[in-house]
């Protein structure tokens, strides 16, 4: 038995701005054959930005609040965005922090890479931690309204525990920092 699946045929049913959708006919490792819907995504980077000395006991994290059509409301997130063609994940994280918050990133460290929902998409998000310094002008896209929300890490933990933070990458980035340290 092979540990791999093989596409017998591939059919692109939609090519979009952010995502493309394939319906592939696949032979699975156990020999079964089936159709699989697979959303293709170029990947993204996110950053957990600290406003205070991140080694200190309860530093503030710079969260953002923005409207999401998918959630039909405004949610807390860490700054993030799609990789541009050829862009390194770290450069993307730095760029997104600047564009969405106006802050520069300093002492940027890699935290982890994860699959958002591997049942139907190959999207991966690379998460970094950084100090957010020297606030300047932002560069938001036409459809972006982004509110800056400095929140003490302890309060962010409480928002996760009580369901006040519902975005996957944000929960992972913050819990990762709280559990495994802030690399200060």
Which parts of this chain interact with a second copy (CB under 8 A)? 3-5, 13-14, 16-19, 21, 23-24, 26, 28-30, 32, 34-39, 41, 44, 67-75, 112-125, 142-143, 145, 157, 160-161, 163, 166-169, 171-172, 175-176, 178-180
Task: Single out the residue of 149, 150, 172, 147 nearest to residue 160, CA to CA.
Answer: 172
Of the pair 44, 129, the CB lying nearest a second copy is at: 44
Of the pair 101, 170, the CB lying nearest a second copy is at: 170
Burial class (CB in 10 A: 0-12, 13-18, 19+), 23: middle
Helix (H, G, I), strand (E, B) or coil at 24: strand
The CB-of-171 to a second copy minimum distance in angstroms stands at 5
Contacts for 95-98: CB closer than 8 Å, 24+ residues apart: 96/45, 96/46, 96/47, 97/47, 97/49, 97/130, 97/132, 98/136, 98/138, 98/139
Of the pair 51, 172, the CB lying nearest a second copy is at: 172
Of the pair 54, 126, the CB lying nearest a second copy is at: 126
* DSSP sequence for 86-112: T--HHHHHHHHHHHHH-PEEEEEEEEE
The CB-of-134 to a second copy minimum distance in angstroms stands at 26
Of the pair 58, 115, the CB lying nearest a second copy is at: 115
Helix (H, G, I), strand (E, B) or coil at 155: helix
The CB-of-63 to a second copy minimum distance in angstroms stands at 14
Angle of helix 168-180 relative to helix 153-161, nearest 10 degrees, comes to 130
């Amino acid at each position: 038995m092979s540990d791999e699946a093989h596409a017998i045929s591939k059919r692109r049913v939609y090519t979009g701005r952010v995502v493309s959708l394939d319906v592939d006919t696949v032979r699975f490792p156990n020999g079964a054959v089936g159709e699989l819907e697979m959303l293709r995504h170029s990947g993204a980077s996110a950053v957990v930005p600290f406003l205070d000395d991140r080694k200190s006991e309860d530093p503030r994290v710079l969260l953002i609040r923005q409207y999401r059509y998918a959630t039909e409301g405004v949610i807390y997130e860490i700054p993030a965005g799609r990789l541009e063609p050829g862009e390194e994940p770290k450069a993307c994280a730095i760029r997104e922090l600047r564009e969405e918050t106006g802050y520069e990133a300093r002492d940027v460290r890699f935290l982890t890479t994860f699959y958002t929902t591997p049942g139907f998409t190959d999207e991966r998000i690379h998460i970094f931690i950084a100090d957010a310094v020297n606030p300047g002008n932002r560069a938001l896209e036409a459809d972006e309204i982004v509110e800056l929300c400095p929140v003490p890490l302890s309060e962010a933990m409480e928002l996760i525990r009580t369901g006040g933070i519902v975005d996957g990458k944000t929960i992972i980035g913050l819990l990762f920092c709280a559990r495994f340290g802030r690399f200060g």
